[in-house]
A and B are shown apart, each in its own frame.
Chain A
Amino acid sequence: MSLLSDSRTAAYAPARRRGPISRLLENERWLGLALLAPTLILLGVFVAYPFVKGIELSVTDTRVGVPGHFVGFQNFVALWHDDIFRLAVWNTCLYTVVATTVKLVLGLWLALLLNRNFRGKAFMRAFILLPFIIPTVLSTFAWKWMFDPTFSVINYVLLHLHLITVADRINWLGVPWLAMASVIVVNVWRGVPFFAISLLAGLQTISPELHEAAAIDGARAWARFRHVTWPLLLPVTMVIMLFSVIQTFADFQLVYVLTGGGPANTTQLFATYAYQIGIGTGLLSQGAAVSLAIFPILLLVVIVQLVYIRRVETA
């Protein structure tokens, strides 16, 4: 009896008083805002502010330490007539298209292999991430040594296999098309693990029953890939491509370390040219204009890809 009365008393006791913040967070709208706030602050400080500042700089004639005046689109008009800039645009497009395509093909191939059962699978999956984990500058310096015109280990091997002579040493970073090919190779080497692991995650969401059903219906490996795997993997692939295109288009470290944009600007990209003008020459406004010139191209690519992803998902 006494126990019953005690529990009744406890049940009707007033709830512990909550603070104003707790009460505010009871409201879902405020809670949502509170949870979003850290991300919004980070994006605002590190993305939105520099972006707006970049736009502001690009329409002035600001130099390092010299406040600029509004000059409208003068910097962009100057870029339009700038041979080096036009070359950088071409280089960047070539670099992005070739590197991203090769990364997709190799990444997909690697993902399909890693999706099979074999001994040491877990170790191998972790191991292939190495190029992606090592800091880019560090791994690029190692590549720089491998492409060194005098001390290249690749040339050394080719020399000892009698495939080249001392006089025919391959000038990996000194011949324009070879220099571009070399920087693409390094970008692919670094980016393939990202593609492979992401596509592997996509592959693992595909039910094995679908493959079994197709096999029972007589579909061979290629037909199963084409009609089962690929359609189901396409949305994931498009998202990965989107990330990769953005990252590759704005690449800086790799080219800066390997060639500095040379020889004679034949590996100059948007980002390296923006750095050369903005930092090397102190023309902040022109450097900002070069950086912003990426934006409409990337925006177009992103819109096309997002529309395509939506279409694939709703199909």
Chain B
Amino acid sequence: MRRVDRRRFLQLSGAGAAAASTGALAGILASGRAPAYGQEQTLHWVRWSDFVPASDALLKGKMTEECKKATGISLQLETINANDIQARVTSAIQSGTGPDIIFAINNWPQLYAASLADMSDVAEEIGKAQGGYYGVSKQIATVGDRWIGVPWAIGGGLIAYRKSWYAEVGYDTFPDTWDKWHDAGKKLKAKGRPIGQALAHSFGDPPGFFYPWLWSFGGKEVETDGKTVALDSKETLESVKALVPFWNDACDPGGLAWDDSSNNRAFLSGTISATNNGASIYIEAKRKPDTYQTEKGEPMYKDIAHAPLPKGPGGQYNLPGPMTDMVMKYSKNQKAAKDFLRWIHSEPVFEEWFTSQQGYTDGPTKFWEGDKVWSADPVLTPFKNLPSEGRLTGYAGPPSQAAAEVQTKYIIVDMYAKAVQGAKAEDAVSWATGELKKIYGA
């Protein structure tokens, strides 16, 4: 074999590269298109680990392949624990490098507005084509007229409850007022089947219950100007006073130490009779009918139904959890990110993912209310109406940065936690009002 020395190697490779580049350049100029390797884009997308694992499997498998074929984009999908997303966003923004798209929950996009790319063109296109976004999706994903993200979907909670247990205590339909639920809960707790509700520091379940509780008594954080703190009111005080007996008589005290998955485990193990949650409990029970069974040996999912949070003197509300894809300003792939979001939100593509959720989430636009997923299983149908009946944190003001701060510091949740731990209702409200005033600068 002939020895190739360094000089000879450089001559050969240099000539080859020159020939290839000059020849290829002519071809590129003639075709008017970038070469295939130049077109290939890699897009890094960070999402939460979905409560419906089948959806993650679909995104990582089939949809990643389809994306490559349809757009030429190589999707690098990374799923992480939802509690770790904010740490990831912070380090990415501060270092100016990281994922191109990051999935946000609740009102997080408002915290990072200055570091997010303008998505107005893509969001407006999708919204226009699909019947318009829900108000809650739009509020979270906009600052003024600027879209700071593209709404992905909307999560939210309804009360999952055991039909037979409620029937046993005289409620063939789920109680529609807090007083009636208090009564039913008291009877069920006496039988060792309390209501399960997290009242601790986790981002999902505690705010999902206690903000609607506050609103349903007529309480609110601020006035419509989004600045004047209005928490210190007769209505708020009533809501705190009403919670203490409700908690003591009807709820599992363990909720003070629960995280967002504790109620799923407690419900599926048959230790609680009802809990405010997404559809994941029912979906899991239905997926494993032999594992999750009633005390009579029947599949548990057949004994589960969903109902909205009851109404109080101030009305009936829920706190939807809008999910938003944020394209980061530092990303050098913003165009590819926009192309990708256009593609994945196109009807046939998004429908594939939406179907895999089986009703765990609502679509970001009203168009998805008509999807066949809602007629597939009547037990999940009540989730369809959540976004239109929801309010966001910061009410009666917008879900601003200050509202996000109140939520992430768990001030409303802790106001109730202090009361059930023995603090006077007046002191709990006064403490929370003081904290809100510091945050809103009032």
Contact = CB atoms under 8 A, between A and B. Distances in A.
Whether chain B is bound by chain A comes out as: yes
Interface of A: 63-66, 78, 81-84, 147-151, 166-167, 169, 171-176, 179, 259-265, 276-284
Nearest to A172: B257
Contact of A171 (B112, B114, B253, B431): B253
Contact of A263 (B256, B266, B271): B256
Contacts of B265: 150-151
A263 to B, nearest CB: 4
Contacts of B93: 64-65
A149 B329 CA distance: 43
Contact of B409 (A63, A175, A281): A281
B414 interface: yes
Contacts of B253: 149, 171, 174
Contacts of A84: 409, 435
Contacts of A265: 414
B417 A65 contact: no
Contact of A151 (B252, B255, B269, B329): B269
A68 to B, nearest CB: 12
Task: Determine the main DSSP class of A at the interface with B.
Answer: loop
B254 to A, nearest CB: 3
A259 B257 contact: yes
B74 interface: no
A279 B89 CA distance: 9
A277 B114 CA distance: 18
Contacts of B13: none
A263 B200 contact: yes
A117 B362 CA distance: 68
Contacts of B408: 276, 280-281
B262 interface: yes
A147 B257 contact: yes
Contact of B114 (A66, A175, A278, A283): A66
A64 B90 contact: yes
B201 A259 contact: yes
A3 B90 CA distance: 76
Contact of A150 (B202, B262, B329): B262
A158 to B, nearest CB: 15
A166 B254 CA distance: 12
Contacts of A262: 200-201, 256-257, 410, 414, 417
B438 interface: yes
6 contacts: A64-B93, A149-B258, A150-B254, A175-B256, A259-B257, A265-B414
Contact of B254 (A66, A78, A171, A281): A171
A149 B410 CA distance: 21
B90 A282 contact: yes
A1 B256 CA distance: 97
B11 interface: no
Contacts of A284: 90, 94
A167 B329 CA distance: 54
Contacts of A150: 252, 254, 262, 265-266, 269, 271
B112 A64 contact: yes
Contacts of B115: 64-66
B405 A169 contact: no
A306 to B, nearest CB: 34
Interface in B81-128: 86-87, 89-90, 93-94, 111-112, 114-115
Given A65-B114, A78-B438, A263 B404 contact: no
Contact of B201 (A172, A261, A278): A261
Contacts of A149: 252-258, 262
B313 interface: no
Contacts of A147: 257
A179 to B, nearest CB: 7
Which of A66, A148, A173, A280 lies at the interface centre, i.e. has the most chain B CB atoms within 10 A of its CB?
A280
Contacts of B414: 262, 264-265
